[in-house]
Amino acid sequence: MGGISKDLRTNEQIRVREVRLIGQEGEQLGVVQFRDALRLAQEAGLDLVEVAPTAKPPVCRIMDYGRFKYEQAKRDKEARKKQRVGDLKEVKMRPNIDDHDFDFKARNAHKFLKDGNKVKVTIMFRGREIVHQDLARALVARFAAEVGDVGVIERPPRVEGRNLIAIIAPKAAVMAEARASAARTPRSEAGRSVEEGSASAKDEDPQGGFKADEGLGDR
């Protein structure tokens, strides 16, 4: 079972006679009457959430559903960020950049390339610096060598206005790995707990469920 759905039935929305209950710490509480499960959730100040509605009986978990929704939204946002490969990032430098700044910018460019993005290297000229284009081209070559394990020059440096610009692209293998990584969306913690709980339940009972007298039972 993968990550659980964003929109789940909770509390009184759940319309079944009994459920397989998972506690707030992921512990198996067995097959119990729905009213008992709801009471336990309410006593804990939490929600009863139907995390596997198609199971027989449905699996419910005691959890803070509002917090779960918030954390899932954060995970989805992060996953979408990771899926945006192929962006163009820009690194700006002056021809006389010092070694510390150069190393810092090279590290950033290395990360951009490893994530599958292209890097636009812009050398900015001021005043008469533009007559020293050879120094700027040498700087671009040095920069490309610094990130050479993950990127290659896609567009050689050329002057545009008062800037010298080059494009460095990720190597094919790096781009392939970045795309594969972006496609791997992290499963939710709650989903993993449900999956582990379901697997544990199957181990407990060869028929795939708990016996009613193993849980809380009728009260």
Residue 164 is which amino acid?
A: L
What residue numbers bound the domain in which 195 lies?
11-77+186-214
Residue 40 domain flag? yes
Same domain, 123 and 149: yes
In a domain, 150, yes or no: yes
In a domain, 128, yes or no: yes
Residue 5: inside a domain, yes or no?
Answer: no
Q: Is residue 72 domain-resident?
A: yes
Query: Residue-wise pLDDT tens for the chain (219 aa)?
Result: 344 455 788 999 999 999 999 998 889 999 999 999 999 999 999 999 999 999 999 999 999 999 988 888 888 777 666 556 678 999 999 999 999 999 999 999 999 999 999 999 999 999 888 888 999 999 999 999 999 999 999 999 999 999 999 999 999 999 998 888 877 655 444 445 444 444 444 444 434 444 434 445 444
Is 41 among the domain residues? yes
Largest CA distance in the chain: 89
Question: What is the C-alpha to C-alpha distance for residues 145 and 110, in angstroms, rounded to an integer?
Answer: 11
- Residues 207, 168 within the same domain: no
191 in the same domain as 174: no
Cβ partners under 8 Å of residue 130, min gap 6: 159, 162
- The model's pTM is 0.50
Phi, psi of 124 (to 5 degrees): -100, 130
| Same domain (yes/no): 92, 166 | yes
Residue 73 sits in the same domain as residue 88: no
Asked if omega into 57 is within 30° of 0 (cis), the reply is yes
Same domain, 169 and 103: yes
Establish if 162 belongs to a structural domain.
Answer: yes
| 124 and 192 within one domain | no
Q: Do 154 and 198 reside in the same domain of the chain?
A: no
* Residues 131 and 154 placed together within one structural domain of the fold: yes
Q: Within a domain: residue 73?
A: yes
